[in-house]
Amino acid sequence: MTILITGAAGFIGSHVAQALLARGDQVVGIDNLNDYYSVALKRARLEQLEGKPGFRFIKADVSDKASIAEVLAQVKAGGEDITGIVHLAAQAGVRYSLENPYAYADANVMGQVVMLEAARSLDRLDHFVYASSSSVYGSNTKLPFSIDDPVDHPVSLYAATKRAGELITHSFSHIHKLPATGLRFFTVYGPWGRPDMAAYLFCDAIMAGRPIRVFNEGRMERDFTYIDDIVAGVVAALDRPATPDERGVPVRLYNLGNHRSENLLHFISVIEDALGRKAEKSLEPMQAGDVPATYADIAATRRDLGFDPATPIEVGIPRFVAWYKAYHGIV
C-alpha cells in the first residue's frame, strides 16, 4: 500500500511514518516545514525517515490546492496508487491562535477542504484518516469526554477550526461516500515531541534554571498520552475503513487518549524526578482559551479499534527526558 501522510515532519506524523514503513508500506510524506517551531527539529525528524526503503518526501502546503495537485501528479507519474491518507498537518497550539488566527483558518479549514478534494479524486483510496483534537470538547464539564458529548461551545479558535474540520469531513463523506475517520488526540507527548508542549517547555526551563509557568495555579488535569499509544491508534484506524453509520454516511470519530487524567503538579514532579532537578514554579491564572481538565472516554475506541494505551507517565516521561537530553547533547 502507498499511504500519503501530511505533516510528515511533525511529531505524530513522523512516528506514524516510521510505523508504516516498518510494516512494509510505501509512504509519501508531505510537510510545508513552516517555522511555527524549530525547523531544525522537523528536519531532524525527516532525517530519521529519509533513506529508508519506501519513504519519499515532497515539500508541500496542504492549504495550497495547486501544491497538493502537484504532489498527486508526482505520485501518479511514479506509478503509485495512494490507498490511504493520514492527514495530520495542522496549525497546532491553543495559545498561538490568539496571536495568529489566520494561520488556523488556512491550515485547519482550507487544508481540510483541499485534502478532502484530493482524497475524492483518487481512484483507489480506501480510507481518509485525519487529526482532530480533544480541544473540541471546549467548556464541557462532564468527565470523561465522550464522542457522544455535544461539542458546540469551543473556547479557542484552534478548537473551532478542528471542529469545523470534523463537520466539513462529514459533509464530504455524506456527498461522496468517502470513508473517513477523525481522531481526537489528547495531549500527546514523547520523544521527538513539540517544543511548545508542556513536557518540552518544562524540561527547557528546568535545565536553564528558569521558572516554569504553571497555569490555573496548578489546578489543571490532562489526559497525557504517550506517542507509541497514539501511533498504534492511528494505524488501527487506518486499517479499519469507516463503514456507513445509521444515516448511511461512512464516517467515524474516536478519542485517542490514555483514559487517565493526571494532575499537572504530579506531571511536573515526574519530570523533576526524571531530570534529577527541582522546578521553580511561577503560579499563574488560567490562560484564555484553555480548559481546566481533559479526560478521554475510549470505550468506543477500544471496541472498534482494539485501542489499549499501555504507557503511564511514570514510564513515558523518563523516555522523553532521555531523548531530550540526547537530542540537546546533555550528559
Residues acting as catalytic residues: 158
For Cα atoms 34, 128, 31, give the angle at the middle one, nearest 5 degrees: 15
HSE (side-chain half, CA atoms, 13 Å) at 218: 10
> Looking at the DSSP assignment, which residues form a beta bridge with residue 216?
none
* All three cell numbers of 19: 510505523
Burial 310-325 (b: 16+ CB within 10 A, else e): ebebeebbebbbeebe
Burial class (CB in 10 A: 0-12, 13-18, 19+), 93: buried
Residues 4, 10: Cα–Cα separation, whole Å: 14
HSE (side-chain half, CA atoms, 13 Å) at 76: 12
Smallest Cα–Cα separation from 20: which of 68, 79, 86, 119? 86
Q: Which three-class secondary structure state does DSSP give residue 289?
A: coil
* All three cell numbers of 144: 470523561
In this structure, which amino acid lies at residue 132?
S
Name 73's Cβ contacts closer than 8 Å, sequence gap at least 6.
none
Answer for the pair 249, 173: CB distance below 8 angstroms, yes or no: yes
